[in-house]
Amino acid sequence: MDIGIVLEAYSLILASAITFFLFSIGRFYQLKIGRETHYNWFLVPVILFLSSAVLCALDYAGVVLAGLGAVLLIILTIMLYNIMMGVEK
């Protein structure tokens, strides 16, 4: 196995763990404050990152899945930030 493939798969697994941490933050905020945070949607980038890591480990290109997960994660993180900081539309 190439060291680049191992590092890429490891970084995607780490990104999914950090995304799961954001899922936990959103869930905690919704339970304690009562405002809808749509925390369940954070599981979609987790699944996309893990799927991309598996494809990468099997020598397939999972870049599209990782890119889609990253774009979705950016959108969800901005939405969560706006909800938690009280930014009105």
E strand or H helix at 34: none
- Please report, for residues 6, 25, 62, the alpha-carbon distance to residue 41 in angstroms, rounded to integers and kept in the order given: 27, 13, 20
d(CA 16, CA 20): 6
Instruction: Break the chain into its structural domains and give their ranges.
Output: 3-85
The first and second tokens of residue 51, run together, are 């799927």
pLDDT for 5 equals: 85
Residue 26 has pLDDT above 80, yes or no: yes
Q: What is the DSSP letter of 58?
A: T
pTM exceeding 0.75: yes
pLDDT for 81 equals: 95
pLDDT for 78 equals: 96
CB atoms within 10 A of CB 67: 12
CB 37 within 8 Å of CB 80:
yes
pLDDT for 6 equals: 87
pLDDT confidence band for 89 (50 / 70 / 90):
low
31-88 pLDDT tens trace: 999 999 999 999 999 999 999 999 988 888 888 999 999 999 999 999 999 999 988 7
